Amino acid sequence: MYGNDFNVPDEVAGAGLGAGAPGGPSHLLDEVAAAERALREAGAARVADPGVAADGDELLRYFDAVIEADQKIEPRDWMPDAYRQGLIRQIAQHAHSEIIGMQPEGNWISRAPSLKRKAILLAKVQDEAGHGLYLYAAAETLGVSRDALVELLLAGRQKYSSIFNYPTLTWADVGAIGWLVDGAAIVNQVPLCRCSYGPYARAMIRICKEESFHQRQGYEILHTLAHGTPGQKAMAQDAVNRWWYPSLAMFGPPDADSTHSQQSMTWKIKRFSNDELRQRFVDMCVQQASVLGLDIPDPDLRWNEQRQAHDYTQPDYTELMRVIKGDGPCNRQRAAHRHAAHADGAWVREAAAAYAAKRNAPTTKAAA
Ligand code: FAQ
């Protein structure tokens, strides 16, 4: 997990955050590598195609067989309309989250405490833009245009993750976002590398590898602050206090209230339920927080020997629903900023379209 740019403190290695430790980021990267291998194998062994003359029942049987065999549905394959629409919904929300997610951290690019910190943050925020592009491209393979999805975001008709409606008040928030928000994103997204839809699974493999760097940069910022002056440590703790519950809420409503989980799991889009992933995240963070020397702001957090997992306080799901519906601390600001950025970028889109048209125009040979 840790490269040569960050000396691994002894207690970090000892606390299970070294290579391949259970629950640690390297362990998650091992899962990404396994998903990548499985993806290649699935591509090499296809369930026999029913052929072009197949009727509806045969096509559905073929689709179910591909899912059952853990192979991938590709854009050329027949798929039920609800599968297509469900994927468009989730991938679009995911893409929009990456794009809106640039704002809270972008807020600190010009105020990063050193040139090195600024360069790292800039690279991270650029990565998020790239993730948005991979995901819009994956959604386009389902027959929807990126322009149409962007319009739906701008019109407030498609969602993005609740987490990005919270403000970044101090530099430590950049660390807390990296550690907790990117950490939650990885825990949620590593299983998506095994998603049944090929283009989404392939995009997720690349994204997860990059998210691992993001989590590490946040962890390193918090580690530095937590081992700095008492004021810096207090700033780090305050950031963790504010980001903990919104990060838990990122995993979505509890299973009993989740509209899509059951169908998504049957179709192997999702591999684990919202609550299963939330639990995995909590268990991963406890050990990491102790190494940071920071407290998780939950007095009821404790190891449950019987469940072999931590008991913890659930986030406020009423607040989650309020934020999703547009009434979070920064929803209006985020939407206004995206509208302005889209309008400011109009000339770039026009120039790119004009250039593409020029390149594609038939060439006329100059008269001799
Ligand atoms: N925020 O039935 P479920 C990142 C909605 S990327 C907003 O459980 P599902 C990287 C849900 O859409 C973060 N809405 O839904 C980064 C549904 O509404 P609908 C984004 C939420 O799909 C880091 C309704 O509630 N990651 O962080 C939320 O089965 C740092 C009912 O929910 C992804 O998008 C929420 N938190 O499970 C970037 C991952 N939770 O559509 C920059 C892919 C639920 O019926 C800086 N997505 N809703 O109107 C998923 O894994 C799933 O879609 C879930 C939700 C788990 C988010």
Average pLDDT over residues 314-336: 98
Looking at residue 314, its amino acid is Q
| pTM exceeds 0.85 | yes
Sequential DSSP letters for 27-56: HHHHHHHHHHHHHHHHHHSPPPP--TT--H
3-class DSSP assignment, residue 357: helix
Torsion of CA 142, 146, 151, 156, to 10 degrees: 60
Average pLDDT over residues 69-87: 95
Alpha helix stretches (DSSP H) within the chain = 10-12, 25-44, 56-68, 81-100, 102-106, 115-140, 146-154, 171-176, 182-189, 198-226, 230-249, 261-266, 274-292, 317-324, 331-344, 346-360
CA 268 – CA 194 distance, rounded (Å): 8
In this predicted structure, what is the pLDDT of residue 366?
56
Instruction: At 305, list the tokens.
Output: 């020997």
For the Cβ of 215 lying below 6 angstroms from any atom of ligand 1, the answer is: no
- Nearest-CA residue for atom 8 of ligand 1: 258
CA 293 – CA 287 distance, rounded (Å): 10
**91 Cα to the center of ligand 1, angstroms:** 9
For the Cβ of 185 lying below 6 angstroms from any atom of ligand 1, the answer is: yes
For the Cβ of 182 lying below 6 angstroms from any atom of ligand 1, the answer is: yes
Q: Report residue 79 CA to chain centroid gap.
A: 25
CA 27 – CA 32 distance, rounded (Å): 9
- Nearest-CA residue for atom 37 of ligand 1: 252
pLDDT digits (tens, 9 = 90+) for 166-199: 999 999 999 999 999 999 999 999 999 999 999 9
3-class DSSP assignment, residue 73: strand
For the Cβ of 181 lying below 6 angstroms from any atom of ligand 1, the answer is: yes
> Is the pLDDT assigned to residue 148 strictly greater than 50?
yes
Residue 197: strand pairing partners? 73
For the Cβ of 140 lying below 6 angstroms from any atom of ligand 1, the answer is: no
**120 Cα to the center of ligand 1, angstroms:** 27
**294 Cα to the center of ligand 1, angstroms:** 28
Among the ranges given (142-146, 208-212, 363-367), the one the predictor scored with the smallest mean pLDDT: 363-367
In this predicted structure, what is the pLDDT of residue 4?
38
> Is the pLDDT assigned to residue 38 strictly greater than 90?
no
- Nearest-CA residue for atom 7 of ligand 1: 161
Maximum distance among all alpha carbons in the chain? 87
**228 Cα to the center of ligand 1, angstroms:** 35
Mutation test residue for ligand 1: of 88, 89, 90, the one with most atoms within 8 Å of CB:
90
CA 73 – CA 86 distance, rounded (Å): 14
Average pLDDT over residues 273-298: 97
pLDDT digits (tens, 9 = 90+) for 250-272: 999 999 999 999 999 999 999 99
Instruction: At 317, list the tokens.
Output: 């799901």
Instruction: At 341, list the tokens.
Output: 């950025």
Distances in whole angstroms, Cα of residue 337 to Cα of each of 76, 151, 243, 332, 344: 37, 15, 22, 9, 10
**138 Cα to the center of ligand 1, angstroms:** 17
For the Cβ of 159 lying below 6 angstroms from any atom of ligand 1, the answer is: yes
For the Cβ of 256 lying below 6 angstroms from any atom of ligand 1, the answer is: no
For the Cβ of 107 lying below 6 angstroms from any atom of ligand 1, the answer is: no
pLDDT digits (tens, 9 = 90+) for 191-231: 999 999 999 999 999 999 999 889 999 999 999 999 999 99
For the Cβ of 157 lying below 6 angstroms from any atom of ligand 1, the answer is: no
Instruction: At 342, list the tokens.
Output: 């889209």
Residue 303: strand pairing partners? 310
For the Cβ of 128 lying below 6 angstroms from any atom of ligand 1, the answer is: yes
In this predicted structure, what is the pLDDT of residue 28?
83
For the Cβ of 253 lying below 6 angstroms from any atom of ligand 1, the answer is: yes
